[in-house]
Structure 1
Amino acid sequence: MEPDLSLEIDGLRLENPVMLASGTFGNAVDCYAFADLNRLGAIIPKTVTLSPRIGNAPPRTVETAAGLLNSIGLDNEGLEGFCTRLWRGLASLTCPVIVSIAGKTDEEFVELARAISKLEGVKAIELNLSCPNVAGGIDFATDPARCAAVVGKVRRVYDGPIFAKLTPNVTDATAVAKAAEAAGASAITAVNTLLGMSVDWRRRRSRLGQVFGGLSGPAIKPIALRIVYQVAQAVSIPVVAAGGITTVDDAMEFFVVGASAIQVGTASFYRPTAAWEILDALPRALKELGARSLREIVGTFVGSSVSCEIGS
């Protein structure tokens, strides 16, 4: 028998743990022609904001060593465009669709959540509390009290699963994660991009249209892995891992340190089939550990492989 890949997050059943991260596969509806989205555990389209956004000035992306800097700036059609144009295509999917939302204020998050909750077929909401390349976009995830305030207010108007997407740009991500859990989050998504920059020294200017951007890809995986491990130890709700996941080995590392599910992001830019390749390889990886289900290996990390005494 094939291992059981299913999981449940606050009543939401996922057939498998592989998701597409928000903002990294367009709005998904543009990719039906070559990708069987329904095979995945869930998809998360581009973040929706209250008003349409044209995004930041180009250039918006630049490659770095083992990574990608982006300064997209939450380019999207806004709430009305999402509800009237995009949702029709997304609602036809049989896999769960988790809608990512971002507001400039607590009240905007609440207004977005209230409107999204009225769309038939929405399975969960992900609160993008941590986008680093829009003004104010990262503030909600750097302060536990602000994070809790947003999550708590959204929880009062939305009774479905709430994923709180946190930033790595903090000293202690566990404090923010615990605040989100206490306020009513169903799961923690860890992590968003790291704040970085790239400079053309000959021109003495940024290679991006603005100075800072969000670093993603394999370069940030060790940091994301550390944060997922720490957060999983600190909260009792599921942790969804994001950050440099490119292969099944990456995915398995996150599972054993405590992630219940994963999101594939930057890998999709240069290998659009990455999420499906990971999904296809998961049963064999679990069999290698003698596991009959994904749940058996989540959080089974035992620590250092080397034992030594100080002074030896």
Structure 2
Amino acid sequence: MRVQFAGIELNSPVIAASGTFGYGIEFEEIVSLERIGAFVTKGISLEPMQGHPAPRIIQTAAGMLNAIGLQNIGVAEFIQKKLLPLSRYPSCKVIVNVFGYTVAEYKAVIERLNDADGIAAYELNVSCPNVHAGGMAFGSDAGSLEYLVNEVKNIAKRPLMVKLSPNVTSIGSMARVCAASGADAVSLVNTFLAMSIDVETRKPRLTNVTGGLSGPAIKPIAVRMVYEAARAVTIPIIGLGGIVTPEDAVEFMLAGATAVQVGTASYADPRATERLAKGLVSWCRSQHVERISSLTGALDIPQR
């Protein structure tokens, strides 16, 4: 079940996605952290962020809309209060999701994290659709993305993964920008910009008006985007978007993902990541797959 990306070895290809697993330590009494490969923290900013007022999560027909607004405690308190307890689980890698409104803020957060122990990698959040500056503003413009990744890579002391937005014309082009700018891996996709209206009140259901759509509804689009990115770059790809079953995870790997992240499923089942990790073991046994890494990019496309 071991996989490797950007010089990091995971004991499982299942990773808990950012924003759905807290700071990791909140799940230690629910999930056996040593059974999953890694988790990605909530987006960490330079200063604490309150996020958007409620309602900021609503259910949809096949998933959910969220406009949390990157609520977090800030990098200083994260290092002081959240990192040390995680040292009890050395086999579960900690990946820190990093957010900033400006390039200078991204760099300042990375510089603080560089001096902290217990972190395996950084995930650069350039794709959050729920803030009015930063985030998707970088991920949807090739020039801005190139500059940001270059600047952060020059100071990062750990592997750098970039979380891409699906709200672009060509996901392959944006992946190439990241690879050319020094990114060690890319993760995709983040949520799709979406909206829901209460027809009785004629008002948006989210206080932020729009939010990010996630869950099973987006999985076929996310799989296609992973496939396109895998054909565009040679750096590792971490796939996410609507994964609920082991077979969902296998789809992403066949499309080209080295590992997968599980997000929205954790809202319905807080133990979803552990369940999926166990399920993948059973699936591989039933299919006589000796190494799960052999599934990456193994899609069989009939010749026309």
CA contact (8 A) 2:63 2:216 kept: yes
The counterpart of 1:220, out of the listed 218, 227, 237, is 218
CA contact (8 A) 2:185 2:235 kept: yes
- Who is 1:130 aligned against? 127
CA contact (8 A) 1:128 1:164 kept: yes
The counterpart of 1:33, out of the listed 29, 32, 35, is 29
Q: Give me the whole-angstrom Cα distance separating, in 2, the residues matched to 1:119 and 1:91.
A: 12
Equivalent positions of 1:286-297 (< 5 A) are 286-297=284-295
CA contact (8 A) 1:62 1:69 kept: yes
The counterpart of 1:96, out of the listed 93, 96, 100, is 93
Q: Give me the whole-angstrom Cα distance separating, in 2, the residues matched to 1:19 and 1:195.
A: 23
Is it true that 1:17 corresponds to 2:9 in the alignment?
no
Q: TM-score, normalised by structure 2?
A: 0.96
SS of alignment partner, residue 91 of structure 1:
helix
CA offset digits 1:227-246 (Å, max 9, x no partner): 00000111101100110001
SS of alignment partner, residue 55 of structure 1:
coil
The counterpart of 2:49, out of the listed 50, 53, 62, is 53
CA contact (8 A) 1:9 1:161 kept: no
The counterpart of 1:116, out of the listed 105, 113, 116, is 113
Q: CA deviation at 1:295?
A: 1.9
The counterpart of 2:189, out of the listed 177, 191, 196, is 191
- Who is 1:269 aligned against? 267
Q: CA deviation at 1:297?
A: 1.6
Q: CA deviation at 1:165?
A: 0.1
SS of alignment partner, residue 53 of structure 2:
coil
SS of alignment partner, residue 154 of structure 1:
helix
CA contact (8 A) 2:3 2:11 kept: yes
- Kindly tell me: are residues 144 and 260 of structure 1, through their superposed partners in 2, closer, same or farther at Cα, counting changes over 3 Å? same
Q: Give me the whole-angstrom Cα distance separating, in 1, the residues matched to 2:284 and 2:80.
A: 42
Q: CA deviation at 1:104?
A: 0.7
Amino acid at match of 1:29: I
CA offset digits 1:57-95 (Å, max 9, x no partner): 210101011010000000001111112212222333211
Q: Give me the whole-angstrom Cα distance separating, in 1, the residues matched to 2:167 and 2:87.
A: 34
CA offset digits 1:88-119 (Å, max 9, x no partner): 22333211100110011111111111111110
Q: CA deviation at 1:289?
A: 3.8
Q: Give me the whole-angstrom Cα distance separating, in 2, the residues matched to 1:90 and 1:125.
A: 16
Structure possessing the higher radius of gyration over alpha carbons: 1
- Who is 1:284 aligned against? 282
CA contact (8 A) 1:7 1:295 kept: yes
Q: Among all aligned residue pairs of Structure 1 and Structure 2, give the percentage whose two residues are the same amino acid.
A: 39
CA offset digits 1:189-213 (Å, max 9, x no partner): 0010000011001111001112100
Q: Give me the whole-angstrom Cα distance separating, in 2, the residues matched to 1:86 and 1:273.
A: 20
**Runs (4+) of structure 1 moved beyond 4 Å?**
none
Amino acid at match of 1:26: G
Q: Give me the whole-angstrom Cα distance separating, in 1, the residues matched to 2:158 and 2:72.
A: 24
CA contact (8 A) 2:83 2:118 kept: no
Amino acid at match of 1:103: G
Q: Give me the whole-angstrom Cα distance separating, in 1, the residues matched to 2:248 and 2:48.
A: 35
Q: CA deviation at 1:291?
A: 2.4
Amino acid at match of 1:118: D
SS of alignment partner, residue 150 of structure 2:
helix
- Kindly tell me: are residues 33 and 287 of structure 1, through their superposed partners in 2, closer, same or farther at Cα, counting changes over 3 Å? closer
- Who is 1:159 aligned against? 157
CA contact (8 A) 2:2 2:11 kept: yes
How many residue pairs get matched? Answer: 302
Q: TM-score, normalised by structure 1?
A: 0.94
- Who is 2:253 aligned against? 255
Amino acid at match of 2:79: C
Amino acid at match of 2:204: S
Q: Give me the whole-angstrom Cα distance separating, in 2, the residues matched to 1:199 and 1:117.
A: 43
Q: Give me the whole-angstrom Cα distance separating, in 2, the residues matched to 1:56 and 1:247.
A: 31
Q: CA deviation at 1:139?
A: 1.0
Q: Give me the whole-angstrom Cα distance separating, in 2, the residues matched to 1:131 and 1:82.
A: 20
Specify every segment of 5 or more residues in structure 2 that has no aligned partner in the other structure, as ranges.
none
- Who is 1:74 aligned against? 70
The counterpart of 2:240, out of the listed 239, 242, 247, is 242
